[in-house]
Chain A
Amino acid sequence: MNLTFRRKRISGILTIVPARELSFLQDMKNFNFPEARSLKLREVMGYDKHRVVEPGVCVSDLAVAGLEHLFENNLLHPDEFDALILVTQSPDYFMPPTSNVIQGRLNLKPDMLCLDINQGCAGFVIGLMQAFSLLEQESVQKVVLINADVLSRKTSPKDRNSFPLVGDGASITIVERDTEDSIIHANLKMDGTRNQVLMIPAGGFRLPSSPETAILKDVGDNNLRAKDHLRMDGSAVFNFVQMEIPSLIDGLLKHGGVTIDEPDYFFFHQPNRFLLQKLADKIKVPYAKMPSNVVERFGNSSGVTIPVTITLNLADRLVHEQFKVCLAGYGVGLTWCAMLMNLGKVKFNCMIEYK
């Protein structure tokens, strides 16, 4: 599905990463796997450090800390936004929506739309699409888009398929109208027949959590995982990305009327370095234009990785300069989407730690 948005822009990005850092060298003591093979895996995939929350920390805690930082530093006023979109797969509760929890904790005005979206690694692009659509309403002047997840709390430390790469974090993106006649192109696809490739089998209404669903079982390759834990079919995800994303990007560039050489950066979701470099090779983009340095520092925080990539690699440059960027997210659903836009001259683009 091709989408076009006019006169919309990102005016600020803040990312919030937990101060707690785990290392792959520590993690691998939990794996039932020869040390030499773990070290080789680390080298190829780019696993090293990852940031995870302390036990008990929830998505709303990260989001509230980030918004308070913006308010205290006069980067955002509590009354100047009319919609708060939260994209997460790890809400504080089934009900109420965590966006309402955030609104309540900060005493934000009631004349506001609070909206939770259940999306994962494609969640930044999906959230932007929603924000742009809301800005078509005259009464909506500014949208706060929050992407946040604490999925380490649902990942087995004895599952080397998932634990070494998982990261927690949040991002707050300010979206508003552009005074210039800018055009943003996007492309979106979903395939629900592959919904079980990435999932947490237990804990919902289909299979409620119970003592049985908490039992760790050997799920192959000496990985131990319970049904309460995140399950990722790594090979299926890898093949899905390599099959679908090159044509997605090709279609997007054609839709936007630009060539592969024109974007300054390709900020893609960050599952691991190996996958990203294979993707860069396939679509013929230099590695320097497609950073893959997030998973080794922070882990894969699903929908938060694109903002983390932007704040890590551009920092204050984004305040002073403007770039043509291609964003791409892919994951749970399965969902894959990409966006072509001008990004820059923002009010802020920075990262803080949650302690």
Chain B
Amino acid sequence: MKSFVMKPVIEILKEIRPEFDFATSEDFIADGMLDSFDVVNLVATLDKNFNISIAGTDIVPENFKNLEAISALLRKSGAKL
């Protein structure tokens, strides 16, 4: 179940920042792999691909720091995983 969710998220992240390996980092923000505009791009893509609207109040760095956090945010936002 976990890898099923992670795979499309990793694909989206790779599209946004192809130069990084997101499978090996535990903190994308602290490691400088995602900046604030990347997060906006990521939200727009997740909204579209999962047919959800991530709440504006949830667009904070902690929710995008790694794959587990993004996965939890998707579930909270009503994504059918």
Contact = CB atoms under 8 A, between A and B. Distances in A.
Interface stretch (A21-29, A127-135, A235-243, A253-261): A235-243
22 contacts: A37-B16, A40-B41, A41-B40, A41-B41, A44-B40, A44-B41, A221-B35, A221-B36, A235-B36, A238-B59, A239-B57, A242-B55, A242-B56, A243-B57, A274-B40, A274-B44, A278-B53, A278-B55, A278-B56, A281-B53, A281-B56, A282-B55
A160 B41 CA distance: 15
Size class of A's contact patch?
20 to 34
Contact of B37 (A37, A242, A275, A279): A37
Contacts of A44: 40-41, 44
Contacts of A40: 16, 41
Given A221-B35, A235-B36, A279 B41 contact: no
Nearest to B18: A36
Please give me the 7 A-B residue pairs with the lowest Cβ-Cβ distance, nearest first.
A242-B56, A278-B56, A281-B53, A44-B44, A235-B36, A242-B57, A221-B35
Nearest to A280: B53
A160 B38 CA distance: 13
Contacts of A221: 35-37
Main secondary structure of the interface of B (DSSP, over half): helix
Nearest to B17: A37
A221 B41 CA distance: 15
Contacts of A43: 44
Nearest to A222: B35
B35 A275 contact: no
Given A41-B37, A221-B36, 16 more contacts: A37-B37, A40-B16, A41-B40, A43-B44, A45-B40, A221-B37, A239-B56, A239-B57, A241-B56, A242-B55, A242-B57, A242-B59, A274-B44, A279-B56, A281-B55, A282-B56
Q: Which of B35, B37, B38, B59 has the most CB of A within 10 A?
A: B37
B4 to A, nearest CB: 26
A43 B57 CA distance: 22
A159 B59 CA distance: 22
Interface string B33-68: 001111011001000000001011101100000000
B56 A238 contact: yes
A37 B18 CA distance: 11
